[in-house]
Amino acid sequence: MQGKVEWTGETTLSGINSDGGKISLDWNSGPSPMQVVLQCAGACSLIDLIEGVKDREVRSAHVDLTSERADDYPRVFTKIHMSYQIDTDAPQKLLIRLIEKSHEKYCSVGNMLKHTTEITWSLNES
């Protein structure tokens, strides 16, 4: 994996993937790098959940994220809570197992963060 981060003026940056994909960051008005890390942790785990339900119908899905950060530098995340909202015909037992496996093994972003961060979650089905 390769990438590049380029300053684009004032308080803005552009993250560029080796395949040309881009994200824009603004450390004043957001999304800031830490906001992107938080959202990537949610995205990584939500992908595990969506991929895991396979052929089941998923009508909608998202994860609400709340976090706390250390008061002193480096201001790492100390707590993250992920509240999964999913409207699907998949059984709750399957959803719970998929979320647990995501946090235990599959979500690379969350597994990097869990060394400094208490990560909790809840599931709310529609």
Tokens of 70: 């250390």
Determine the Cα–Cα distance for residues 102 and 65; give it in Å rounded to an integer. Answer: 16
Tens digit of pLDDT for each residue in 68-83? 999 999 999 999 999 9
Predicted local confidence at residue 112, as pLDDT: 96
Which residues face 112 on adjacent strands?
A: none
Predicted local confidence at residue 126, as pLDDT: 64
Predicted local confidence at residue 52, as pLDDT: 97
Closest to 32 measured CA to CA, from 75, 78, 81: 75
Predicted local confidence at residue 37, as pLDDT: 96
The pLDDT-based confidence of 105 (bands split at 50, 70, 90) is very high
Predicted local confidence at residue 24, as pLDDT: 92
Determine the Cα–Cα distance for residues 126 and 61; give it in Å rounded to an integer. Answer: 9
Predicted local confidence at residue 31, as pLDDT: 87
Predicted local confidence at residue 30, as pLDDT: 84
Tens digit of pLDDT for each residue in 3-53? 999 999 999 999 999 998 999 999 999 888 999 999 999 999 999 999 999
